[in-house]
Structure 1
């Protein structure tokens, strides 16, 4: 079967090596590994040779700065992508469109209807609500247009992939979609990178180079330093735990807009010297840093909405063999088990996070055991190979059902 992978959201910048880039790359790679061709169509202007067959169109604003008043930007992109999709179909003869759902996603369903092929929506979050909580909230006509666009597009979907059980609940209870059309597929991790041979040795070597001794207990964070990750609460809790356990150390891998705020917090609370800041590192080096530490932290905070994302971070931590300190939130509570593969804390609760830090740092041997358990779970359930195979099975089922329905 031939798949058109359609990403109409301008906010998905595939030149940035962040979480969604990993998801898009691994999805493409895992589907192609099954022997099925996949063509990526998206907004962009940069060369993406690592993604194989792909077509990009440059983003365009509405003329005369109309985009600053009315939400025409996304609608224009959808229209232009639809035109290109139909042109590609003349030669490619796609069997199905797989669309990464975003704001103003109407070009995909219109393309699918004109091509007479089924449409699968990949839903990684309630896009409108995420925007309200994380970036610039939509208001007025822009918000209304986004809601109308979402409702219209979704009713034309022939099938849906939800990133988590909670996302499926939202799609059924709040969006009114039929449960039987929704498949839950969590994020995964690349075992060839995060569980590769020799990582333990590489981690020990890096630990020595970083200057850590055997008596120190190192907790590692990998990611972007943004407010929604709950790093401020974690830093406050770490400062309190550090006063009780002076061998605690923090390894910060990444960068972001609140980095200076975090550094000031550490200075004010007297534990700045207990932190090493290494900045952003190549993705393939992330598991080495995780293996140089004794545990990993994912300090997410609770959001005003029911939804909590399926964080690739958690699955990569698991695959690397890390003992994980994390909030008992959403999908995290489904994939980790208290005392078996990680330690939970109450999100946003400084005292609970502090207790979690002290608990996970009590025994390095127990951390090693939890790390092995987490990795075993990841290898059995959360590899991109399994993800691609399941996705192709869904494609086949949808294509057969679509043909039967329209014959």
Structure 2
């Protein structure tokens, strides 16, 4: 039986797009009969045991506290601690393949161990760390740290036995860096249709509690980062309400931009049309999807959003919701304008308002679009079928002659 060790930044019980994708991968691999475990580094902030089972999945933790001091020294020490923890688990559990997931620090730690034990390693990139830092407001494009991180990423890709990316945008960027296209497999974001593919009915009590009775509801459910463009969505509300007086905006989630967005909403002339819910338990999220007519994703135009496809629009499609999104590259890879969703110009509140008002004014095609979008997710973005993209890669790596193992 094939054993796969996943090297991770963080995992359940923390909730994020990263942890939900990880859960979907591991659950699908277990359903196929493979043995899987995950190990997280010091960036996993949740308290818990060194080995714990969450949602039926086994995770190991890197012991100790994150290093302190100079950022470069701190990160190098964290890599070393993570590598030591991976090495100990490899010696105890004896996996067949190491599957490291971004950021690049995980790949560097995993490669040390894979080389030492003669194990094949696949490196999966969900976003380039340097671009994610810019998108999160913790980095600056083109500065020395950005350049160094980019070089580390390229080195890690070249050193890996195989590379997986979540979208064509990332694949194209790596090919432009000189990486062999045959080395790269695209394993796109998907939805666990067994867990998230059955929409629930709208709860009238929750509708009343949120003040959404009789409203045209636009919603966003996710993390409040600057690159999500929620400030543009709030700025679009005056135009939208003037066109559709019953329009309301439902914002579910939280993150670094939450307070700034709440302040912006309070200053809006239509503040009473904007509802903040805060974070909700993941098992309750579907009840909030059921409150929304149109899920809006107004991501700003930048390298991160042009290269990376998000998960949330796929979840909305699976839940039978309409989707409207900015026409950045990551969205264009998921959404066919006028077929599975509606695209509007990024960084443009007027364009957002016009697109949403147009959808509310023409409800006749809603059922057909919902059906087409859901069928797209079931056919092409369902984790039960996405998992097959990894299998030939694993088989190819395992068929190679074993590299010399270090003494155990």
Q: Equivalent of 2:60, from 49, 55, 64? A: 55
Tell me: CA distance 1:145–1:347, structure 2 relative to 1, closer, same or farther (3 Å): closer
Which residue matches 1:83? 84
Aligned to 1:181: 183
Q: Which residue of 1 aligns with 2:343?
A: 344
Q: Are 1:322 and 1:367, in contact at CA under 8 Å, matched by a contact in 2? A: no
Mapped pair 1:40 → 2:43 = no
Q: Deviations over 1:92-137 (max 9, x none)?
A: 2221110013233322112112221211010111112221332322
Q: Counterparts of 2:83 and 2:129 in 1: how far apart (Å)?
A: 21
CA distance in 1, matches of 2:167, 2:268: 37
Matches within 5 A, 1:1-40: 1-7=2-8, 9=9, 12=10, 14-40=12-38
Question: Are 2:114 and 1:116 equivalent residues in the alignment?
Answer: no
Aligned to 1:251: 250
Aligned to 1:403: 401
Bigger Cα displacement from structure 2, 380-389 vs 353-362: 380-389
Distance between the aligned counterparts of 2:326 and 2:338, measured in 1?
A: 13
Root-mean-square deviation over aligned CA pairs: 2.6
- What's the secondary structure of 1:49's corresponding residue? strand
Query: Cα gap change, 1:255/1:82 in structure 2, threshold over 3 Å: closer, same or farther?
Result: closer
In structure 1, runs of 5+ residues without a counterpart are: none
The 3 A distance-change label for structure 1 pair 213 and 123 is same
- Give the equivalent residue in structure 1 for 2:292: 293
**2:63–2:85 CA contact under 8 A, matched in 1:** no
- Stretches of structure 2 that go unaligned for 5 or more consecutive residues are none
What secondary structure, in the 3-state scheme, does the structure 1 residue paired with 2:219 have? strand
Contact 1:23 1:187 (8 Å CA) reproduced: yes
Structure 1 range deviating more: 185-194 or 114-123: 185-194
Does the residue aligned with 2:328 lie in a helix, a strand or coil? coil
CA distance in 2, matches of 1:191, 1:142: 40
1:47-72 deviation line (CA, Å, top 9, x unaligned): 4421633321135455xx5x22x512
Measure the CA separation in 2 of the matches of 1:86 and 1:405: 16
- Give the secondary-structure state (helix, strand or coil) at the position aligned to 1:155: helix
Give the C-alpha shift of residue 207 in structure 1: 3.3
Give yes or no for the alignment of 1:160 onto 2:163: yes
Q: TM-score, normalised by structure 1?
A: 0.88
1:356 positional shift:
0.7
State the SS of the aligned residue for 1:254: strand
- What is the TM-score with the length of structure 2 in the denominator? 0.88
CA contact (8 A) 1:219 1:249 kept: yes
- CA displacement at 1:13 relative to structure 2: 6.0
Aligned length: 394
Cα distance between partner residues in 1 of 2:82 and 2:353 = 49
